[in-house]
Amino acid sequence: MKLFNFFTQEIAIDLGTANTIIVHNDQVVVDEPSIVAIDRLSQKVIAVGKRAMLMHEKTHENIKTIKPLKDGVIANFNAAENMIRGMIGMIHENRNFLFPPTYKMVICIPSGITEVEKRAVVDSAEHAGGKEVKLIHEPMAAAIGIGIDVQEPEGNMIIDIGGGTTEIAVIALSGIVCDQSIRVAGDEFTEDIVEYMRRQHNMLIGERTAEAVKINVGSALTELENPPNDYPVNGRDLMTGIPKQIVISYSEIAHSLDKSISKIEEAILKALETTPPELAADIYRTGLYLTGGGALLRGLDKRIAQKTKLPVHVAEDPLRAVARATGIALKNMDKFTFLM
């Protein structure tokens, strides 16, 4: 039996639209962008993760970069399988196995996912070496990752803003009581910035540049207490076709993101409306918890607090909260309810 255990390793995967994180032996061993680069002729995988991201939007006709996940679900089955396999391979990069290990996996998925989409995740994981694959909902995982005791008869609202989806859920007694899942999140913010630069400054920028703008001067409020420095953006002038640079401020970006953030606020209010009164009373006491990469957007917690009149707490290391929790769920399989 011990020999069997030696060849079966336990890993937890937060399969995200923007980043995929793998936890092995309580350590984050892989944290890479969810992207693969493929040779069009041979269909072989050239690069996975960071290396593929460096090629993104810079490829020639023989190479294409694919983001296998869109809106939190698998959009390209083949690429997803190759990506999962490539990232699992990174765990044991410098080791040669006589018998490659099989894996017991817990994978995190959005709460608004369909049965077909669940099946696609499980199939991709099994083809990539998963012997036993369990799924757990993102908001539930986020709550565990923050350190909330989800088994208590106490209501907690989690807002997990990822790359493809924003998951809002009220959690009590180890289950999701009511939830809202909307496909407005980090990727939508990036698109808003691309569109704003085109409309306002007649300048075309790529996805990677827009992502850098979001990280450096992204904001949910037009006035911040500790504003970031203005940021120079390089792109192509749409009038002349010549590369140029424009310096932009955080308040401009706050204007460009306003519509998308309003949609998230609406979804939060909708989730609060459907919350049973006893749990609503708990939430009034405990407040709202923000996790996911979107929680890092400057001033977002303040803006949501103004809208809901409730305290808003940003999780410590919000990017990895879900991954940490998936690792905890892997260790305590008897305590948590899995979907498959």
In percent, the amount of the chain with pLDDT more than 70 equals 93
CATH number at residue 218: 3.90.640.10
Does a structural domain hold residue 16?
A: yes
Six-digit token string for 231: 């940021």
Q: Which residue has the higher pLDDT, 133 or 312?
A: 312
Does a structural domain hold residue 109?
A: yes
d(CA 131, CA 159): 32
Average pLDDT value over all residues in the chain: 86
- Report yes or no: 198 and 238 within 8 Å, Cβ to Cβ: yes
CATH number at residue 164: 3.30.420.40
Same domain, 124 and 203: no
What is the DSSP track for 193-205? HHHHHHHHH-EE-
| E strand or H helix that includes residue 73 | strand 73-74
Same domain, 192 and 120: no
Same domain, 199 and 218: yes
Same domain, 266 and 312: yes
Instruction: Give the pLDDT score at 100.
Output: 65
Query: Where residue 205 falls among pLDDT bands split at 50, 70, 90?
Result: very high
Same domain, 22 and 168: no
Does a structural domain hold residue 129?
A: yes
Q: Is the pLDDT of residue 340 over 80?
A: no
Q: Summarize the confidence of residues 277-283 as an average pLDDT.
A: 94
Same domain, 64 and 79: yes
Domain range for 291: 146-184+261-316
Does a structural domain hold residue 337?
A: no
Enter the pTM of the model. 0.85
Lowest mean pLDDT among 80-89, 93-102, 129-138, 168-177: 93-102
Q: Which residue has the higher pLDDT, 171 or 2?
A: 171
Number of structural domains in the chain = 3
In percent, the amount of the chain with pLDDT more than 90 equals 43
Same domain, 92 and 36: yes
β-bridge partners, 104: 10, 132
Same domain, 173 and 194: no
Does a structural domain hold residue 35?
A: yes
Does a structural domain hold residue 37?
A: yes
Does a structural domain hold residue 338?
A: no
Does a structural domain hold residue 95?
A: yes
Same domain, 166 and 308: yes
Instruction: Give the pLDDT score at 97.
Output: 55
Residue with the two structure tokens 């989806």: 165
Six-digit token string for 300: 């977002």
